[in-house]
A and B are shown apart, each in its own frame.
Chain A
Amino acid sequence: MMRNVALVGAGVTKFGVRKASYRDLIWEAGKACFDSVPSIRPRDVDGLVVGSVMPERTAFQSHISSLAAEALGIKPSTLSARTEHMCASGTVGIRYAYAFIAAGLADVVMVLGVEKLNQPSGDEAILNMGTGVDREWEAAFGLTAPPCFALAAQRHMAAYGTTEEQLALVGVKNHTHASKNPNAHFQKGATVDQVLCSRMISTPLRLFMCSPITDGAAAVVLAADDRARDLTDRPVWIRGTGQALDGFQLTSLHEDYAHWPALGRAASAAYRMAGITARDVDVAEVHDCFAIAELIAYEELGFCAKGEGGRFVETGRSDYGGDVVVNPRGGLIGCGHPLGATGVAQAAEIWSQLRSEAGARQTPDAAIGLTHNNSGMGEHVVMIYGREPA
């Protein structure tokens, strides 16, 4: 018999080009999380999972979970692990913690995501991102994420008539949302003209349609059934989860790069487990590493039909007053994308949205929240959260 599991605390650091060490970021996220739930002290946490992608290259540091446990004064007695799944490492960590708690193998687990990506030399920071694609067959050519998602954008434009303006609107929406989030990397908002006049990165994706290289950390605490109710008056329950992979190398993915079947499968599994449909989702944090990813996510998550993603953002259906508020914290485009921290920060946003604590970013009457985290166009994780347990 699986136990119900809930988020009982959450906190994030300021995201940006941070004058901070890897450990500073862990301290900051840990403090923000513990401050959100005064009933939990480090000694009450029996498990810790840390999502972090490349500290070996960026901070000359492995052995991350033990480092973080010591930094925060946690003495794990049920679970201590690091998760690495490129850009989805944070959500993969939340799934581990969920599974351990649901199975009765742990009771109160912190999941912390942390990344210190910026380096004294900027092109080295970008080179490090090449570790996330296949070294021998992809990174050797200088490939990092932008050209991959550019292939999807090219295809989406050719097949469905998606326009540069529609891609730009994702940038505008998420930069505008980020302007209401003091922890976001960018806070100045953006206009369509600004997005369309920003520097071309990889055709057709321009700078303001891309997430930047960002430092940051985030932490959440998960607890079982009764413990969750003891620790907070408004737990945010995990209702469903799904993960699916189509492939790792670009040449293993669906030959139509605008078609991401693994995301559809991950979403179906999560909806089925939660007993809901896409229509029930009030607020969603989706993986807009690039604007095209958000448009395809609308389609594969079932918010709109295949090919309608551009129209969906253009008609305001993914913004306040529409069908579902997508990326209220500003998404990866507005908040930045500190790899391992991103999935955990998405969960932290859903935590505050479903508790009606999101302030200027609040989605009215948010009862069901969704997070989508990917690690490439063929690898997806979806979580469903609810104000009420299943």
Chain B
Amino acid sequence: MTYVRAIDPLPLESPDHTKLHEFYAKLADGRLTTTACAGCRRTAWPPRGFCPDCGSDRFEWVDLPREGTIHAFTIQEAGLPAGFAAPRVFAIVSVGSHRIFSIVSGADAGQVAVGQRVTFQPLRVADGPKESPRWLVGFTLSEGKA
């Protein structure tokens, strides 16, 4: 499968590869952040390097709440792409005023429900080029009842 791995679906996260590299560095430090436009202060999800509202390409990083609620979800049981195992809980999570697409890890299928509270948890994924660690935004079910 080296052939598939030559171009995988995971982002290249380093400063050599993306203007958003600080997002990934903060993620590795356990912080969930996004961009706030330096021109009009609007925040966005996902982070963006150009503001369609004011035209600025300058931004700062702001922290998002670490807890959110499940807005919608589905559990994929078959037909996942190479490199991804079933079952997989895909969810749209409401975090503050934003919706974040991600997966909910470590949950039994029966426990997941719309409105359930989830907690941000950085998700370590396959290393990038030159064994650089890579991270994505992940969630787990919050402790206690919804």
How long is the Cα–Cα vector from A105 to B10 in the complex, in angstroms? 43
Asked if A42 is at the interface of the complex by the 8 Å CB criterion, the answer is no
Tell me, rounded to whole Å, the shortest Cβ–Cβ distance linking B108 to chain A. Answer: 14
Instruction: Collect the chain B residues with CB atoms within 8 Å of residue A151's CB.
Output: 72-74, 90, 92
Encode contact with B along A109-137: 1 for CB under 8 Å, 0 otherwise. 00000000000010110110111000111
Residue-by-residue, is B97-117 near A (CB-CB < 8 Å gives 1, otherwise 0)? 011111100000000001000
Residues of A within 8 A of B98 (CB): 251
Cβ-defined contact, A127 with B77, below 8 A = no
The answer to whether A251 and B81 touch (CB under 8 A), given A127-B9, A139-B9, A154-B72, is no
Q: Would you call B38 an interface residue if the criterion is a C-beta within 8 Å of the partner chain's C-beta atoms?
A: no
Q: How far is the CA of A146 from the CA of B100 in the complex (A)?
A: 18
Known: A249-B46, A251-B101. A200 touches B78 (CB 8 A): yes
Which of A141, A155, A201 has the largest count of B CB atoms less than 10 A from its CB? A141
Contacts of B102 in A (CB 8 A): 141
Contact of A143 among B11, B83, B90, B100 (CB under 8 A): B90
Q: Judge whether A201 and B77 touch: CB under 8 Å.
A: yes
Q: Is the CB of B84 within 8 A of A142?
A: yes
Minimal Cβ-Cβ distance residue in B for A140:
B10
Q: Which residue of A lies closest to B77 (CB)?
A: A200
Complex Cα–Cα for A124 and B7 (A): 12
In chain A, residues 126-171, which have Cβ atoms closer than 8 Å to a Cβ of chain B? 126-127, 129-131, 135-144, 146-147, 150-151, 154-155, 158
What residue of chain A has the Cβ atom nearest to residue B80's Cβ?
Answer: A142
The complex places the Cα of A146 from the Cα of B56 at a distance, in Å, of 36
Q: Is the CB of A143 within 8 A of B75?
A: no
Given contacts A155-B72, A250-B101, contact A127 B83 (CB under 8 A): yes
Give the residues in chain B near A150, CB-CB below 8 Å: 74, 76
If A127-B81, A202-B74, A251-B46 touch, whether A140 touches B101 (CB-CB below 8 Å) is no
Interface contact B77-A202, CB-CB below 8 Å: yes
Q: Is the CB of A202 within 8 A of B82?
A: no
Chain B residues at the A interface, C-beta cutoff of 8 Å = 1, 4, 9-11, 45-46, 71-84, 88, 90, 92, 98-103, 114, 125, 136
Can you list 18 contacts pairing A with B, beta carbon distance less than 8 Å? A123-B82, A126-B82, A127-B9, A127-B81, A130-B81, A135-B9, A137-B46, A140-B11, A142-B103, A144-B80, A150-B74, A150-B76, A151-B90, A154-B74, A199-B78, A202-B76, A203-B76, A204-B74
A contact set with B: CB distance below 8 Å: 121, 123-124, 126-127, 129-131, 135-144, 146-147, 150-151, 154-155, 158, 199-204, 207, 210, 249-251, 255, 257
Other A-B pairs beyond A127-B83, A141-B101, 4, CB < 8 Å: A123-B82, A144-B79, A199-B78, A251-B100
